[in-house]
Amino acid sequence: KQEVTQIPAALSVPEGENLVLNCSFTDSAIYNLQWFRQDPGKGLTSLLLIQSSQREQTSGRLNASLDKSSGRSTLYIAASQPGDSATYLCAVARETGANSKLTFGKGITLSVRP
Amino acid sequence: DTGVSQDPRHKITKRGQNVTFRCDPISEHNRLYWYRQTLGQGPEFLTYFQNEAQLEKSRLLSDRFSAERPKGSFSTLEIQRTEQGDSAMYLCASSRGQSSYEQYFGPGTRLTVT
């Protein structure tokens, strides 16, 4: 059974700092990995998707990397801003694309202090 | 551009009542997923449709839960005889049935059972 872990559960940083959020998963037979952002009481916004054959994806100040064999992904946020404060979740889709249901971690709640 | 929509956004009901939620996916997406998220946890998979066919159900989906997608477009999730443990955010997601299978989430329906 796939398990996804995100540690720490919460993180507080000053504005402007570069930071790395970590995600690990137990079964390397994944189809893709998605990073999401969730604001309190809201739905999920997709940030980046990395296919299992890719090593990284970039969007603006965000960069996500994937090491499938070791079961790890990182989300790098450059020059953090107070508006980045949210919960960040990573999720993996199992290898068979027939049902690419996602298995989620519990998320990392990020607070960026002005 | 219309994303995934869900209705209602909030529902308060008394224990023992039946509730029904609706999800409208992105129009060209043939895959539709339901997830449930409780406080402090990541979303957990409930069920999956490809077009109108319900192809997988989680063991979390007890016999009090039923989901339909009658014409392969919108979907409904019904909970009968609600229990306090059903209180959660119910999230719907959709994806294309090809290539990346990236999932796009709706804003969720927050259910409170009193």
Instruction: Convert the pLDDT of each residue in B70-114 to its tens digit.
Output: 988 999 999 999 999 999 999 999 998 666 678 999 999 999 999
3-class DSSP string for B23-52: EECCCCCCEEEEEEECCCCCCEEEEEEECC
pLDDT at B12: 98
From B30, B34, B35, select the one nearest B52 (Cα to Cα): B30
pLDDT at B1: 54
pLDDT at A99: 66
pLDDT at A24: 98
Per DSSP, the residues of B48-102 read EEETTEEEEE-TTS-TTEEEE-TTSS-EEEEESS--GGG-EEEEEEEE-SSTT--
Pull the structure tokens for residue B89: 């955010």
Cα–Cα distance measured from residue A40 to residue B104, given in angstroms and rounded to the nearest whole number:
18
Q: Is the Cα torsion angle B49, A47, B111, B21 positive or negative in sign?
A: negative
Q: How many CB atoms lie within 10 A of CB B57?
A: 16
pLDDT at B61: 85
Indicate the average pLDDT of chain B.
93
Which alpha helices (H) appear in chain A, and where do they start and end?
A: none
pLDDT at A100: 77
Cα–Cα distance measured from residue A100 to residue B62, given in angstroms and rounded to the nearest whole number:
22
The whole-number average pLDDT for the span B44-53 is 93
Chain B residues touching residue A49 (CB < 8 angstroms) = 100, 102
* Cβ within 8 Å, pair B42-A99: no
- pLDDT under 50 in chain A at which residues? none
pLDDT at B106: 96
A83 touches chain B (CB under 8 A): no
Q: Are the CB atoms for B20 and B38 separated by under 8 Å?
A: no
From A9, A6, A13, select the one nearest A71 (Cα to Cα): A6
For A71-99, what is each residue's pLDDT tens digit?
A: 999 999 999 999 999 999 999 998 665 56
- Give which of B103, B109, B111 to mutate to test A binding, by max A Cβ within 10 Å: B103
The whole-number average pLDDT for the span B55-69 is 91
pLDDT at A95: 67
Interface of B with A in 50-69 (CB under 8 A): 55-56
